[in-house]
Structures are given as structure tokens and as C-alpha cells.
Structure 1
Amino acid sequence: MTYTGEVRVGGPADTREINGVTVTKIAVGPYENNSYLLRCSGTGQGLLIDAAAEPQRLLEMIGATPVERIVTTHQHADHWQALAAVRAATGAATVAHPLDAPGIPVATDELVEDGDTIRFGDASLSVIHLVGHTPGSIALCYAAGGPQPHLFTGDCLFPGGVGNTQQDPERFTSLYNGVVGKVFDRLPDATWVYPGHGNDTTLGAERPHLAQWRERGW
């Protein structure tokens, strides 16, 4: 079946193959968070993005995949409720940005900054630090130099706008400028966007609306 990225809490995961990596997306409750399992097709090694909630469902999705790392995109509690349990079950190293790591009540094994690389098997993700939703939010890009990158944005970019900045003009400006300068200005329209909640999108679908987002301030 064709991947759509349209998943619902309690429903099945959705899986796709992309250039040597398998991406599996699942929605977990109660806040309808997305968690993503990436598996290197060559080695079978895995990486989990946001152990958000429902650890048993996440572990069922992981199955026998040896998960090397669990990346937490930012410190908000709905993105790490299952982190302790999944880490204990898999032995994976935990990864976060140093500005948000103190707000995650599971020790961070590896701190990453803007431009760093996170590896799993033969595959790797590049780290994009985006300030505004939280001080240490990160997006993760696979195949950044290819014709169709794949971007996991946490709560920094969604269909229809950037992440919530609590109507703070300074935080909004920071996040908007970061998303434009580090994402839209560097990556092509074909870039597939996997957000922390809800359905997927592409940069091409969102790019025509950037001026509208800036004008409305959210």
C-alpha cells in the first residue's frame, strides 16, 4: 500500500522505504504525538525519534530492530513520556540538544548541536537547531543533499505554519527566521516533512504561505 503518513492514535503504523532507510510512523496518545522508527536497510540498525508515549506500542513497533539511539526533538513532556521505558528495554543511547536536555527527566547520553550528524547503521541524520518553540528544539534531516530530503521537524514546522510560540513576538520571529533560513532556503520543494503531530507535508506545499505566516505572527 502507498504511504500517506495519515496515522491515528490506536490505529496501525504507516511505513515507507526511502533510499536505504525504512521509516515507520505511529501516533500515540493522549496528545496525538507522532513517533518515528528509522531503520537502516543495510545493517538493520534503528533510531527512534521521540519516545512520546505508550511504550508498549512503541516497543511492538520496534520489534526485533536493534535501536542504537533515541532522539528527543525537544523538552516538552508529551515528547518523552515513554523515553525511560523504551530506553530500558532497548539499551539505546539518548540524544538531545544541550539547551533542552536539562528539561528531559531521563539522562541524555549524547548532546548534539546545529550541523552535527547522528548515525544509525550506515545511515545518518543532520541536526538543525531551531530556537523558538523551545530553546533547544531540533529538526533532523535525512539525505539533505539529495533530490528529496526527508525532514523530521518535531514541533517546529507543521502543515500550515511553524510551531507554537505562545504569541511571543520574539520567539515567533526566532522560529520563523530559523525555519526560513535553515530549512526553506536550503532544502528543495520535494523535501518531505514529518511533524511531531498530525499529517505530513512537503516544503513545496508550504512555501507559498511563508509571507502569510510572517504577517499573522504565528
Structure 2
Amino acid sequence: MIGIVGATGAGKSTMAQLIPRLFDPTKGEIRIGGVPIKELNEHNLHDSVSFVLQKAILFSGTIAQNLKHGKKDAGTADMDRATGIAQAKEFIEKLADTYDAPVEERSANFSGGQKQRLSISRGVIGQPKILILDDSTSALDAHSEKLVKEALDRELADTTTLIIAQKISSVVNADRILVLDEGRLVGVGTHHELLETSAVYREIFETQKGKRG
């Protein structure tokens, strides 16, 4: 699990968008498993990388139809597993039609947290090799966010997960954290290492700690 932190406009989302080739770098190259991504089949790359955005975009239809955008042949067991990871299963089971429940235009019949849970469910249902969560737990309360992270660790142990976050609390347990500042990588390490070595990281942490207090 890799955390990516930095101020607004630091380049966090831009860097992550290079991985599924939403656009290509102007210099250098990106490799997955040692292979330059330009040499990878585009279809295979898109199957291997799942991107979950902060603003959950759901389509009119049913919950099942939305989840199948992540895995076309998904069955009930796949949906149960994915919604369990995303902490969405509990509220879905309370709906009269469960997975066949309607998603209205602009998903107006779901709260922000429910939309993010459904979006994460769609992102993990295909068990991608690389999962990118771009501030996609921002509408969840701290307890739910913690449960999602624990489920990702447990259920997607073979997936490389990149978590882009404004809050350091979202990445504090990541194996490695990347610190960006004005488009540059200014720190790499664990939470405790960065508190010792990165002034930028320490400043973000102290500011957020003060707000929590």
C-alpha cells in the first residue's frame, strides 16, 4: 500500500493518472512489473488498473449494473465480496431490491458516503492488480474508512493499492508514503520516517493534528 500526500495542486492526481495512461509523461517512462507501460496491451492495462475517484460517478440503472462496469460477468458472490470490502453491503441489504435497487439520475437517491462505497465496490470487484483510490474515502467517517482499509489489506493482499489523500490519517499505515510539493517528489518513507526527515510532511501533519485537537 502506497500513500500519496501533498497540498492541493501538488500533483497527486496527475501522477496517479499516468499509471492507467489517461495521459503520457512528457519525459521518462512508467513501468509496471519492469515493463514500460507503452509496451503493454491497452486492454490488458485497463483490466489491470482500477481507478476510484473522489467524486463517485454512478450511472442510471441498478446497483448490479453499476458494479458490472467493474466486472462484466460479476455474480452475486462477486458483488457480496466487493460490497463487503467497501462497507456497502449493510445498506444494500436493507434495500427492498438489494442489488436490483435502482440508481437514479446522478445517483440522487444515495448519500455521498453511499456513493463512495458503491464506487469503491465497483473498483475492487474485478480484483485489479493495481487499485488507485483518489481521495475516494473522503465522505466516509473515520471508523468506516478504517474498516475499508483493513478489508483492502485482508481481501486484496496481492493488489498494489495507491491511496491519494489530503489527510495524513488516511495513509498513516501505508507501507510507503510519497510526499509531493509543487509537482515534485520531496519525501519517501513510512509515517515515522517522514516525521523525522521531511519538513513538508511534518508541517502537514502538525497542521492537521492541530485541527483535530
TM-score by length of 1: 0.33
TM-score by length of 2: 0.33
Higher RCO (CA 8 Å, separation ≥ 6 residues): 2
Higher helix fraction (1 or 2): 2
